[in-house]
């Protein structure tokens, strides 16, 4: 049986700010809401969201014999997350100014899994970082880390929504599980809805990805034109306005220090960049997912 205190000690030692533990089960209500979202067509060009829905809401379908979900969160809030001046027209989402979190968080989880296997050699499990059909935000609620905000993101009382998630799905039970987070602490606040420049934040704490600037600048390109409102990669509009994010502290884990400052860069800096310069500046960041050519196109829109 897994020692919950040892798991949380490992998470803190790995550099995570939060850790919660939940039993693996079928999240039936979440799956029902997700299928309704799909039926509304809000996935737009994100066709991959339509695949493996039955796995997404039951981790036991991803890891045979799964019993326990360890959900870890790390703050990445930096000064870019406070918002840009109104005149700034080459905005980059704050998470994308750091080294690619997929690599960083996966390494943090791998260290935890190795340590757990040393004390429990029969343990099997997998680490997940936003690359498999796993309802990680819902699992985070189950593990007591926070609630789903109106902008569809996990909001934590300590760090707001500026957190990155990673999970360990393990085949042994824990000696204690955390209590799921009950309710919402958004109150009557509608800042994320009112501040989304394209109206992508919809009812039911969901996103219309066809209107979402983050999706329009990163995911498979869609037909039609959309005013990007100065965003060239991602969008923080629904986060920088959130009261929980405004009061959240800056990140503590140095692995999430920004590697470049988009506030110091204008359209000329991006348009005048060649591939070598782009690789030197952004080669370790998520911006490589779009590539320089697409970022240039976004700058010109």
Contact 152, 205 (CB under 8 A): yes
Q: Taking the CA of residue 163 as centre, how many other CA atoms within 13 Å lie in the half-sphere pointing to its CB? A: 31
Contact 216, 209 (CB under 8 A): no
The confidence score (pLDDT) of residue 42 equals 79
119-134 confidence digits (pLDDT tens): 999 999 999 999 899 9
Q: Give, for 272, the enclosing helix (H) or strand (E).
A: none
68-127 confidence digits (pLDDT tens): 999 999 999 999 999 999 999 999 999 999 999 999 999 999 999 999 999 999 999 999
Q: Name the nearest CA neighbour of 146 among 18, 264, 60.
A: 18
Three-class DSSP category at 20: strand
Q: Does the active-site annotation cover 257?
A: no
Q: pLDDT class for 190, splitting at 50, 70, 90?
A: very high
- Paired tokens of 169: 């799905």
CA 91 – CA 158 distance, rounded (Å): 26
**Exactly one of 130, 178, 227, 266 is catalytic; which is it?**
130
Give the orientation angle of helix 4-14 with respect to helix 101-119, to 10 degrees: 140
The confidence score (pLDDT) of residue 141 equals 98
Three-class DSSP category at 33: helix
- Strands 231-233 and 91-92, by their bridges, are parallel
Contact 162, 202 (CB under 8 A): no
CA 253 – CA 256 distance, rounded (Å): 6
Q: pLDDT class for 40, splitting at 50, 70, 90?
A: confident
Contact 26, 58 (CB under 8 A): yes
CA 88 – CA 213 distance, rounded (Å): 16
11-21 confidence digits (pLDDT tens): 999 999 999 99
Q: Where are the domains of the chain?
A: 4-300
CA 190 – CA 209 distance, rounded (Å): 19
Stronger pLDDT, 63 or 221, i.e. the higher one: 63
Q: pLDDT class for 196, splitting at 50, 70, 90?
A: very high
């Amino acid at each position: 049986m897994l020692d919950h205190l040892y798991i949380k000690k490992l998470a803190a030692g790995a550099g995570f700010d939060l850790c919660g533990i939940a039993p693996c089960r079928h999240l039936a209500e979440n799956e029902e809401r997700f299928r309704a979202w799909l039926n509304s067509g809000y996935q737009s060009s994100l066709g991959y969201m339509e695949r493996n829905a039955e796995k997404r809401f039951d981790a036991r379908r991803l890891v045979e014999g799964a019993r326990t979900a360890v959900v870890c969160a790390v703050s990445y809030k930096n000064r870019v997350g406070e918002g840009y001046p109104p005149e700034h027209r080459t905005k980059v989402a704050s998470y994308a100014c750091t080294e690619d979190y997929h690599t960083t968080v996966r390494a943090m989880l791998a260290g935890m899994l190795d340590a757990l296997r040393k004390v429990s050699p029969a343990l099997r499990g997998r680490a997940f970082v936003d690359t498999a059909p796993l309802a990680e935000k819902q699992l985070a609620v189950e593990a007591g880390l926070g609630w789903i905000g109106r902008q569809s993101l996990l909001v934590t009382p300590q760090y707001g929504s500026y957190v990155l998630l990673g999970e360990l799905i393990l085949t042994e039970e824990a000696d204690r599980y955390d209590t799921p987070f009950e309710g919402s602490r958004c109150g009557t606040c509608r800042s994320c809805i009112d501040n989304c420049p394209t109206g992508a934040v919809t009812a039911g704490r969901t996103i219309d990805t066809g209107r979402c600037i983050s999706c329009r600048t990163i995911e498979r390109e869609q037909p039609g034109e959309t005013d990007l409102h100065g965003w060239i990669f991602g969008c923080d509009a629904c986060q920088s306005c959130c009261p929980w994010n405004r009061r959240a502290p800056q990140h503590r884990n140095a692995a999430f220090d920004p590697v470049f400052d988009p506030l110091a860069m204008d359209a000329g800096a991006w348009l005048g960049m060649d591939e070598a310069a782009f690789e030197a500046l952004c080669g370790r960041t998520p911006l490589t997912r779009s590539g320089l050519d697409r970022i240039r196109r976004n700058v010109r829109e």
